[in-house]
Amino acid sequence: MHTLSKNQQIIFDIIDKSPEPMKAYSILFNVQKKGIKAPLQVYRALDKLVEIGKIHKIESRNAFIACQNSSCQVSKATAFSICESCEKVTEINNSSLSKYLSNFKDKAGMKYSKYNLEFFGLCKKCITK
Amino acid sequence: MHTLSKNQQIIFDIIDKSPEPMKAYSILFNVQKKGIKAPLQVYRALDKLVEIGKIHKIESRNAFIACQNSSCQVSKATAFSICESCEKVTEINNSSLSKYLSNFKDKAGMKYSKYNLEFFGLCKKCITK
DNA sequence: TACATAGTGTTATATTATAACATTTAAATT
DNA sequence: AATTTAAATGTTATAATATAACACTATGTA
C-alpha cells in the first residue's frame, strides 16, 4: 500500500471531502492556508494521485474526484456519469460494463491497456425540474 | 444538411486534411494566412463544428479530429482509440459497442443522452518497436 | 422592409498546465 | 549509522488552452 507524502495527503483529503469534482486552482486556493502556494505543488500531487488511482481526472471538466471504488488500485478502467445540469459526477462501478470494455477489441486488433468513459445526461434531481 | 460559414469551412478543412488530431492554437497558426487572426474565431468555429458533429474533441488531448463516421450526425456517441506512443487517434465505429453503451443504464436508473469513450494502448506499428 | 438569428472581428483576460533549477526528505543499501 | 538513490518539495517564470464583452455584419424569414 502506498503512503502519501505530505502534499499528496493534503490534496487528496480536500478532494476526498468534496462532494463534487474539484479543479486544480480551486484546490490551490483551498490549501494555501496549509502552506501550498504554487500551482506546481498541486499539479505534482494530482499527477501522482492519478497515477496510483486514488483520484481520477474528469477529462471533459478538467476536474478531479476521489476514487469511489475500493477495488480500484490503478486508473486503468474508469467510467463516470455526469449531470449536464448540476454537474454532479458519479463513478460507475459496474462489472458487466467493465468486463465488456476490458475485453473490447477493435477491428484492427488493437488491444487496449486503459479506457475512460464519460456518460452525460440529467440526474434524477435535475430531470424533474 | 448544414451549410458551413466561411470560418467554419476553413477550420473544418484543415482539421479534415490533418492525419492527426489538431490543437486549437495549431489550427490558429495554420489558418492565419486565410485571415483568421484570433483564438476566439477558432474556438467559435470549433464549438459549432463539434455541436453539429463534423468534428469531435479528444478530451484527453485537447485536440480535434474530423468525424470519420458518415452516419454520425451529432456527437452523441463517440469512441476513440489512442496510441500512447505515436498519439495516433482513430474513431471507433462498432455497432455492438455503440448499442451496448447507448442502452447502458446505471444502478440509479439514470438514462444517458450522450457518451464519450477513449481507449488507450499501443497501435500495431508501435507495439513492434 | 423589418425583424430575428447566426456569424464575425477585436481586445483583453481568465483558466489550465508545464519548464527549469535548486534544495530537502525519505527509503533502500551497505 | 553512513551512504546512496529516488522521490518529493519550493520557487519563479512562462506556456498552452479557453472565454468575456462589445460592436458590427450577414443571412434567413415573416
E strands along chain A, which residues? Answer: 55-58, 63-66, 77-83, 89-91, 112-121
Of B19 and A128, which is predicted with more confidence?
B19
A58 and A89, same domain (yes or no): no
B20 and B61, same domain (yes or no): yes
Provide the domain limits for residue A82.
77-127
Backbone CA torsion sign across B49, B50, B56, B57: positive
Choose one of B23, B38, B66: the last residue of a domain. B66
- Is A12 a domain residue? yes
- Residue B107: predicted pLDDT: 80
Average pLDDT, chain B: 92
Q: What's A99's domain CATH number?
A: 3.30.1490.190
- Residue A110: predicted pLDDT: 81
- Residue B106: predicted pLDDT: 84
Mean pLDDT of B55-66: 98
Q: How many residues comprise chain A?
A: 129
B50 Cα distance to chain centroid: 7
Which nucleotide in the DNA or RNA is closest to residue A44, CA to C1'? D8
Choose one of B66, B87, B117: the last residue of a domain. B66
CA A45 – CA A13 distance, rounded (Å): 12
- Is A37 a domain residue? yes
Give me the CA A111–C1' C17 separation in Å, rounded.
Answer: 30
Read off the pLDDT band of B1 (50, 70, 90): low
B61 and B83, same domain (yes or no): no
| pLDDT of B73 over the 60 cut | no
- The tens digit of pLDDT for each residue in B77-113 reads 999 999 999 999 999 999 999 999 999 998 877 879 9
Min distance A29 CA to chain B CA atoms (Å): 25
Q: What's B12's domain CATH number?
A: 1.10.10.10
- Is B1 a domain residue? no
- Residue A60: predicted pLDDT: 98
Question: How far apart, in Å, are the Cα atoms of A32 and each of A10, A45, A73, A96, B106?
Answer: 11, 14, 29, 42, 38
Give me the CA A67–C1' C10 separation in Å, rounded.
Answer: 44
- The tens digit of pLDDT for each residue in A56-95 reads 999 999 999 999 886 555 679 999 999 999 999 999 999 9
- Residue A109: predicted pLDDT: 73
Q: CA triplet A45, A47, A50: central angle to 5 degrees?
A: 105
Read off the pLDDT band of A28 (50, 70, 90): very high
Verify whether the Cβ–Cβ distance A110 to B117 is below 8 Å: no
Q: CA triplet A55, A102, A44: central angle to 5 degrees?
A: 25
| Strand D, nucleotides covered by protein (CB < 7 Å) | 7-14, 16-21, 28
DSSP three-state, residue B94: coil
Number of domains, chain B: 2
